[in-house]
Structure 1
């Protein structure tokens, strides 16, 4: 009983925060390592704290998932991202914006249709919305994922495989990557933070991405990226890095 009451309180708090605009999206730029220019941004969820500051409580995502609210919160984040893209595009800014989604969200019964409806409602230009799909959960049914991602990709959404190399993303899963409609491979910051002491993993992942004709995004501290890309062969293929920028629209 006590556990159920706790969950109800958690659910109420999260929904109240959503209704009272206590959530916001912040943007983390992606920067081309060769030109130094901003070439996109990633959406980050933040919550207003009692002191007026914005942060992401360490267990917020886990609490949202535990309450079964990942789908509605994820939809809110997606719509905010589309609002931001529409505002940019009305000003002639065509930067892509990346949004994290989980397999749970994607496999929700009408999630794909909802995303397509948002694209149409906000008239999002093809190639400017990127879905970062986490691979921390094993791909048990790749055909279901392919069936869901393909219409989105055909509508102009680019697909990124997030946190590559972590969780269930071992060699067993590589056979699925070739069949998935993926455009971008995002290297987890764990591997970037190993540089320059360990330069074995990052070049291997970069070469894998190139073999699959995928763009590369690296996450981690900015001053490590030139090292990681040089270790990968120095090819100028649009590998991207990121640092902080406050959301403003």
Structure 2
């Protein structure tokens, strides 16, 4: 559905991916991944926790692909499918590999995505629903932005539900405060790359809401497969020096991309 880009890509390959999978040895993995990523001249962040892995990395294409191939030799990561974009410079200042309590903090230990995901909706299907104004059963569709308010200010779906949260751990209470807005509708939770809306959709199901979906692959996958149409307005905030990407997965600001030296 998306347009084919035939131009020569910029020299730096950026990837983002995550997986909820039990890691009993995150400290051991931290040392291994740190060594391989550094050897491949990559910069960015890798987060590890008992619940899984979440990463944002950039570097020369050969180095990035070598690192991904190395990751996939580990059976728990064999099916990782990173989302890709290109930039003229590396948008990260250094490489950080950290072990955390959660790879995305929600403070709800009962939420275990590895035990069972909420249903997902493909970008092309959501685009069709937004264009026709309802899902395939005729039910009204609402998009629910699970990101922080400052991220949403860079861009979101037209008419999305935005509760102005400042951190993801506020999301569960926001749902309880505004549950009536979601009743009787098909709710599609979304975020940058899928990790927050995956936990969010499970929580929505757990409190008894029907017809809940997560946007498969998040905003970045929606851009990749639909060029942002229909329904998207603005850019997608990313946590690196590019600041925000447009629907073509390129920085919205011409001067964005190189992190300041600190």
TM-score range for the pair, normalised by the shorter chain length: under 0.3
